[in-house]
Amino acid sequence: MIVLRLVDRILARIEGWLIIAMLSLMVIFTFFQVVLRGLYTHGHLPWANTLMGQIDWSEPFVRLLVLWITFLGASLLTRDGKHIQIDLFSSILPPRWLPLRDFILSTVCASLCAMMIKVCVDYLSMEMEFGGTMFLALPTWTGQIILPAGFGLLLVHFLVKAVDQGIQTVRSIRE
């Protein structure tokens, strides 16, 4: 359990750093693209166009970051327990039932994530075999590795939550 919590914390740290790095890159690259395009079309500066050609990989790269940030952000959100959900019962259900409900929900989420890891690994192995290349001649699967990895991160966070809530449930039943 202690190990699991530690892993959970370390992963959250790493996710945080990655988000900060990726969002910064996203802002910087997109900003430079706009400026260069503006300089070329309105300032008629040929060197801006040349430079744009040099970083033509940045546009697909930034779009790929959207996918990565989605999973990293969702993963961090899991730790806060703030995923978007319909919640009709929090106010209706007696409070002592809530830990049990949360335990069930987290377990279901963890199982679904586990299934998705399997599905995404299948998909990735297909991509490794038949997939083409993306920017900078990188094979496409390298960018898509976030799919199984992202569901893996989600799985860990949901598992830790499930264990915590399981302990709480047992406690609330004993009382």
Partner 1 sequence: MIFILVLLLIVLVISGLPLFAGILGASLLGLYTSGVEFTAIPIEIVRLANSPILLAIPLFTFAGYLLSHGGTSTRLVRFSRSLLGWLPGGLGVVALVTCSFFTALTGATGITIIALGGLLYPALISERYKENFALGLMTTSGSIGLHFPPSLPIILYGFVSGTSIEKLFMAGLIPGILIIGVPSLYSIYMGKKWKLDRPRFSAGEFLGALKGAAWELPIPFLILVGIYSGLSTATEAAALTVVYVLFIKVVVFKELNVFKDLPEIMKESMKMVGGIMIILGAALAFTNYLVDAFIPMRILEFMEGLMDSKIGFLILLNIFLLLVGCMMDIFSAILVVVPLILPLADRFGIDPVHMGIIFLTNLAIGYNTPPVGLNLFIASSRFDRPVVQLYRATLPFLVLLLLTLILITYWPGLSLFLPNLFK
Distance CA 119, CA 47 (A): 46
Question: How far is C-alpha 57 from the geometric centre of its chain's CA atoms?
Answer: 22
- For position 119 contacting partner 1 by CB under 8 A, the verdict is yes
Binding-residue pattern over the window 24 to 63 for partner 1, x denoting contact by CB under 8 A: x-xx--xx-xx--xx--------------------xx-xx
Residue 133 touching partner 1 (CB under 8 A): no
Q: How far apart are CA 103 and CA 50, in angstroms?
A: 57
CB atoms < 10 A from the CB of 146, how many? 21
Sign of CA dihedral 36, 37, 39, 44: positive
105 binds partner 1 (CB under 8 A): yes
What residue ranges bind partner 1 (CB under 8 A)?
16, 19-20, 23-24, 26-27, 30-31, 33-34, 37-38, 59-60, 62-64, 66-67, 69-77, 80, 82-91, 101-102, 104-105, 108-109, 112-113, 115-116, 119-120, 122-124, 126, 143-144, 147
